[in-house]
Amino acid sequence: MSPDAHNLLSLEARALLTRLDRVKPFVLQETMVPAANVSDLAAAGIERALAASRRAVRRLVRSFLGWLHGDEAEDATAAEAQRRFSLVRLQFNTMLSQVDLFADAFSQRSEQDVGVWLAGLDVAAADALSLPDYYDSPAVVCYLDRGIGAAIRRARTRLPGGAPSPVALLRVPRERMVGSGIASSLVHEVGHQAAALLDLVNSLRQVLKGLQQGGEDAEVWRLWERWISEIVADFWSVARLGIASTLGLIGVVSLPPPFVFRVNLADPHPIPWIRVKLSCAMGAALYPHEQWSRVSALWESFYPTATLDAGRRNLLARLEANMPAFVELLAGHRPPALRGASLREALKTTTRQPAALAALYRNWRRKPALMLRAPPTLAFAALGQGRADGLLTPEAESKTVDRLLREWALRDTVRSAENCALLTAKLRASREFAPAT
């Protein structure tokens, strides 16, 4: 290898180390009020994962420099040295990709109002995901982005470079802040994480495949199977939020008719027109009430099918006719992870019937402090019921959701601080009274 090649690669490798030293932990560079912080569990998991990546890259760079200045490199070609360095730099950029994944979730916490809202959404997402009898929930971290849809990078899926993600990273649409409609997007994405923890999609696919063995509905069952991942997430949202989920979904998929009626079998999402109808059907099965047929008819009036070609009208009609059987299969499904319970039973849907939610909302209007103490998804469900019943204006809704998100963030911050103080006191006491050795 020529001296010029050796010198250039040595300088480039050392430059990587200097840039690596400037990639600081988020806890040393982000400014935010305490109530806007991500949870201690999430922060610790993220920082541990990123610190491990930084250490791995530093070892690679130093190993490369050791090779470059050793005897083996003297007989190597410049091309071989450059190849080795390129692999090291790829790992450096992979580590930066991991940092960038979490950067928005931390940096947005410094924005006025937004930071505390996001912390409140973290609490709401944790409540929506909680199913303590069946799994341990991973930490959830929310952040905002443009667009009309939400998305999730599930916990334990692979980060760039192959390491498992320490948290569920949930992107929520900025255009939905701040109103109860955000709950529909939030809980739908949480449903994807819950489905993965329970292996719901795989267990349902096995059932749906068995229903495709001939018969006039075979094609319909194939479509339900194709869309089952998104359908399960919608089911989770309806089960947690009631009518608030369907109204929020309408807000997302209310697009020009060509998009609402678009049939794209490569898309894992159901046809938007069918998706809203299915949400109403799931709501009617879980929470029987005439409101679901009213919302379904309203959706039909927004997007009448009369002008569609015969092929699409026929497909939509067949899917709609099969909905009651499909929804009953979904609600009654008993995957191994639920140990004999059905989805309907595990999600305890009996506690969120429309009449009960309406009564809660009326009581909370008289005594607003009671709403602040309710579980977040129950509060969102009652707000959605109030909106469906025509009792909640958009202006009052926005103010109420703002207050709820702030309260949840504050309460979680205080609880974390108290738990930390108690743990510290216990550790101190155990040291003070430990027997002498």
- Which tens digits make up the pLDDT trace of 366-393? 998 999 999 999 999 999 999 999 999 9
pTM, two decimals, is 0.88
Q: Residue 161 domain-assigned? A: no
Tell me the residue type at 214: G
Query: For residue 104, what pLDDT band results from cuts at 50, 70 and 90?
Result: confident
Task: Give residue-wise pLDDT tens across range 276-333.
Answer: 999 999 999 999 999 999 999 999 999 999 989 999 999 999 999 999 999 999 999 9
Q: What is the pLDDT of residues 40-67, one digit of tens each?
A: 889 889 999 999 999 999 999 999 999 9
pLDDT over 70 percentage in the chain: 94
* Contacts of 250 by beta carbon, 8 Å cutoff, 6+ apart: 276, 295, 299
Identity of the highest mean pLDDT range in 20-24, 271-275, 424-428: 271-275
Residue 383 belongs to some domain of the structure: no
Lowest mean pLDDT among 164-173, 255-264, 271-280, 415-424: 415-424
Number of domains in the chain: 1
Q: Does position 196 have pLDDT exceeding 50, yes or no?
A: yes
Q: Is residue 96 part of a domain?
A: yes
8: in domain: yes
Distance CA 313, CA 318 (A): 9
Amino acid of residue 161: G
Residue 19 belongs to a domain: yes
Domain that holds residue 82: 3-103
User: What is the per-residue pLDDT for 437?
Assistant: 46
Residue length, the chain? 437
Q: Is residue 244 in a domain?
A: no
Residue 124 lies in a domain: no
Sign of CA dihedral 299, 302, 306, 308: negative
Q: Which residues contact 347 (CB under 8 A, 6 or more apart)?
A: 131, 236, 239, 240
User: Is the separation of the CB atoms in 121 and 36 below 8 Å?
Assistant: no
Does 33 reside within a domain? Answer: yes
Quick: pLDDT tens for 138-180. 999 999 888 777 899 999 999 888 889 999 999 988 877 777 7
> How many Cβ atoms sit within 10 Å of the Cβ of residue 118?
28
- Helix pair angle (394-432, 376-388), 10° resolution: 170
